[in-house]
Chains A and B, each alone.
Chain A
Amino acid sequence: MIAIVGFLVWSAASNAIENLRAQKIASGFGFWHNAAGFDVNQKLIPFSASGGSTYGDAFLVGLLNTLLVSALGIVFATILGFLVGVARLSNNWVIAKLAMIYVEGIRNIPLLLQLFIWYNAVLKPLPNPRESIALPAGALLNNRGLYLPDPQLGPGGGLILWAFLIGLAATFVFRAWARRQQEATGRQYPVGLVAFCLIAALPALVYVATGRPVSFVYPELAGFNLRGGIQIFPEFVALLIGLSTYTAAFIAEVVRAGILAVSKGQSEAAHALGLRNGPTLKLVVIPQAMRVIIPPLTSNYLNLTKNSSLAVVIGYPDLVQVFTGTVLNQTGQAVEVVAITMAVYLTISLVTSLIMNIYNKRMALVER
């Protein structure tokens, strides 16, 4: 058995070397520092063909874009998925049916088709920049993407950011303290209200106190294009919407299964104690359901990350599009490029499951 596998690997490797030599393709990772002769629209780090960026930089650009869309997708998919999952169990007939239609419809249509629909049928037919759709707060929407006002910090503006961070940290401390107090004495504190004050009201207060130092640069029409503001590319929007709605349908089913797995006696007992529907769900059902939900939720997160590779079909510059697409085509070094891409996804998978396993262990039922 081992001999067979060993022989297969050996013959594959020797064939590969021979074929590569026949096609005159260099091997090794020397291409990493060669100049990349292409440009990318969305980049989180400086990257340009003329600025001497290398294939290594292209890899980083793609990787960061993949991570960005996956992280945002996970957040949106989780929120939407929990909402829909709970809605499917709602005793409101209309809401339950709508949630069911959403789940069944989205789950049974390939993600690739959904991305085509979002990108080609929804976002591309939007009007051109001259006839942009005006959104509230000075944002503009057209077929080149979504343009948001760009906030500029004046003197003292950094304080607002600090206030926000301090508020966030203080909220966590307060929440932990409140929980410990509740476990010790049974008294409940208004965590939600305090969190609102710390996270939202405190920065707002600082904003007013420092003399409103934030100004916005609004996107404006200049020639045939818009100038100023933050441009969010339609490829990114399409991919983000597609990934979040698709994964949310699966998460909704996971959540529903988790809630159904909590025995009905638990919510009946909570009702008997006088808890209303909301607190019953929040304090009794969902904490128990989480134990069932977390493992499949993890695999849905992993699927979302892996599915972000479909970006290649709508031209969002993620790892696969930039690296396995453009760089592979330019260098021809298929073995190295595909191997690196696979290694990256494997690493992301392993790290995500590690984090979720730690979280799972913390949430798991502690038995005697």
Chain B
Amino acid sequence: MTDATTENAPYAFVRKETLEQEPAPLSVAGPLAWARANLFSSPLNAFLTLICVWLVIDTVPGLVRFYLIDAVWTGENRDACLAGKAGRPVGACWAYVADRLQYFIYGSYPVAERWRVNIVFAMFALGVFWLLWSKAPLKKIGAFFFFVILPASAFILLLGGDRAVGFLRFLILASFALAALYIVLSFAPRLMRFWIGEGQLAVEEAAPPWLRFYRPKRLILIALVVFGVLALLDDRIGLPRVDTGLWGGMTVTFLISAVGIVFSLPLGVLLALGRRSRLPAIQLLSVIFIEFVRGVPLITVLFMANTMLPLFVPQEWSPDRLLRPLVGVALFAAAYMAEVVRGGLQAIPKGQYEGAMSLGLGYWQMMRLIILPQALRIVIPGIVNTFIGLFKDTTLVAIVGIFDFLRTIEATLIDPTWATPVTRSTGYAFAAIFYFLCCWGMSRYSIAVEKRLAAGQKR
């Protein structure tokens, strides 16, 4: 034990004498006091404040003038945005964005068929709100809608043509078959004995037939209604095939991110379970997949999907040009999702597992009913973060020749109709605003969820 009294301390920073009393502060509230505390608390701080203020004054008015005051809002072609023709200094050329907006949203999708994209957009928005708004009712149906109904109908609506309509017919038939099966089963639950076990069977038999299997029936009903409407649309208006080469713009950006999340979430859950599995072979395979995909850049995964996927399957199945990057993005996101979910699984206390086992639940029942709902709930912010990353990474598909939103902007920049010195900065600003609003909105949401989930721990 050293003798650490003030007299013995050799350090220069240990004070040896008592300070004089200082006069009472002039003000402790009001704007002046705030400025003194937050802006000019020390000479260095005052200096830095002045530098920063100068920086802001130096840049912000110029940006405001370029993008708002001097900006051109209406016009037919490039003449409106040329300083020589307009007879005044021109800033950003928003007229160009307004003119090309349809292209930015739909790409080269035929004008007469764009209502189909709009329906998909509306369904997507509905699904997103249903799942993300915490007070929305019937969350399970919402999840079913988002993860099953939406992808199937988006495929039918966007692609159209004989194959999609054939797929629609198959879906309707399958739903009817399931409905018939459930009606039979709800009147004769004994047929289910092999699936649900004796104990559950007794519970089912005690309930009246119309209450049995209540929820699956609602899901089937929704599927039938949605697919029925689609079949009606096809019958009345017709859904001619639109080749994936024509798809582009925000449609493709949203499509890739939606496919990414819809497929990466279940796949990621499976991989995470695999990584924590006690079977060495499954564990090894999961670890290899996750570490391999996380160790390489997305670009190489896209290159691999683009050039090697067609090699790995028989030639007659050669995947569609848009499908290849979709597969790549989904697999890439799944590896990241798996690590997020693994974090959630590790955060569940051991007692939950033991409690589930003591109730006699099997592995899958335990995971489905006890562990995963809790694990996924606590990693919602992590999932949203992965999704933000995925959304930003969708821009990379441009490298393998897909016309996503950013690529459509790049394409219009060399279009002579609108080629002016200010077109490029306008187009990039528009893209930046779009991506910023989407990503920032998502990150705000994840922060709100985090706060709500942490409410229980707050004192």
**Which A positions have Cβ atoms within 8 angstroms of B?**
1-2, 5, 12, 15-16, 18-20, 22, 91-95, 98, 104-105, 107-113, 116-117, 120-121, 186-188, 273-276, 279, 302, 306-307, 309-310, 312-313, 320, 324, 328, 334-335, 338, 341-342, 345-346, 349-350
Contact = CB atoms under 8 A, between A and B. Distances in A.
Contact of B435 (A15, A93, A109): A109
Contacts of A341: 296, 300, 303
A309 B435 contact: no
Nearest to B442: A108
Contacts of B398: 112, 313
Contacts of A306: 296-298
B440 A22 contact: no
A110 B390 CA distance: 10
Nearest to B407: A112
Contacts of A110: 392-393, 395, 406, 435
A307 B395 contact: no
Contact of A95 (B49, B298, B436): B49
B313 interface: yes
B41 A91 contact: yes
A108 B440 contact: yes
B39 A93 contact: yes
A113 B406 contact: yes
B38 interface: yes
Question: Quick one: which of A18, A274, A328 has the most chain B CB within 10 A?
Answer: A274
B297 to A, nearest CB: 4
Question: Quick one: which of A109, A279, A334 has the most chain B CB within 10 A?
Answer: A109
B299 A320 contact: yes
Given A15-B314, A121-B428, A1 B297 contact: no
A276 B45 CA distance: 14
B38 A93 contact: yes
A343 to B, nearest CB: 9
Nearest to A346: B295
Q: Would you list the 6 A-B pairs with minimal beta carbon distance, nearest first? A: A108-B439, A306-B297, A334-B307, A93-B38, A110-B392, A12-B312
Interface string B19-43: 0000000000000000001110100
14 contacts: A15-B311, A19-B310, A91-B37, A95-B52, A107-B439, A109-B436, A110-B435, A113-B432, A273-B13, A309-B299, A320-B297, A324-B303, A342-B292, A350-B295
A30 B240 CA distance: 48
Given A92-B38, A110-B395, A309 B300 contact: yes
Contacts of A1: 279, 281-282, 285
A274 B299 contact: no
Given A92-B49, A93-B39, A187-B10, A307 B432 contact: no
B225 interface: no
A116 B440 contact: no
A273 B52 CA distance: 32
Contacts of B295: 302, 345-346, 349-350
Nearest to A87: B48
B315 interface: yes
Contacts of B440: 104, 108
Name A's interface SS. helix
Nearest to A106: B436
A112 B396 contact: yes
Given A91-B41, A350-B295, A117 B428 contact: yes
B300 A313 contact: no
A328 to B, nearest CB: 7
Contact of B399 (A313, A338, A350): A313
B275 to A, nearest CB: 14
A186 B2 CA distance: 11
A8 to B, nearest CB: 9
A96 B432 CA distance: 23
Contacts of A91: 37-38, 41, 45
Contact of A338 (B281, B292, B300): B300
Given A92-B39, A93-B39, A273-B14, A108 B443 contact: yes
B35 to A, nearest CB: 9
Interface string B282-313: 10010000001011111110011001101111
Given A94-B39, A105-B436, A113-B428, A309 B311 contact: no
B53 interface: yes
B410 interface: yes
Interface string B374-405: 00000000000000100011011011000000
B419 interface: no
A111 B297 CA distance: 13
B45 A342 contact: no
Contacts of B85: none
Contacts of B435: 108-110, 113
Contacts of A109: 392, 432, 435-436, 439
A310 B397 CA distance: 11
B427 to A, nearest CB: 9
Nearest to A17: B311
Given A5-B285, A19-B311, A274-B15, A113 B395 contact: yes
Contacts of A276: 13
Contacts of B10: 186-187
B297 A307 contact: yes
Contact of B424 (A93, A120, A187, A274): A120
B392 A111 contact: yes
Given A188-B11, A328-B303, 19 more contacts: A2-B281, A19-B311, A92-B48, A94-B53, A95-B48, A98-B55, A108-B440, A113-B406, A117-B432, A273-B13, A274-B13, A275-B13, A306-B297, A307-B297, A312-B399, A313-B398, A320-B303, A338-B307, A342-B300
A298 to B, nearest CB: 12
Contacts of A120: 424, 428
B244 interface: no
B117 interface: no
Nearest to B315: A19
Interface string B397-439: 0110000001000100000000000001100100110011001
A163 to B, nearest CB: 33
B337 to A, nearest CB: 15
Interface in B290-346: 292, 294-300, 303-304, 307-308, 310-315
A18 B317 CA distance: 14
Contacts of B52: 94-95, 98
Contacts of A113: 395, 406, 428, 431-432, 435
Contacts of A275: 13
Nearest to B12: A188
Given A112-B398, A117-B428, A274-B15, A345 B311 contact: no
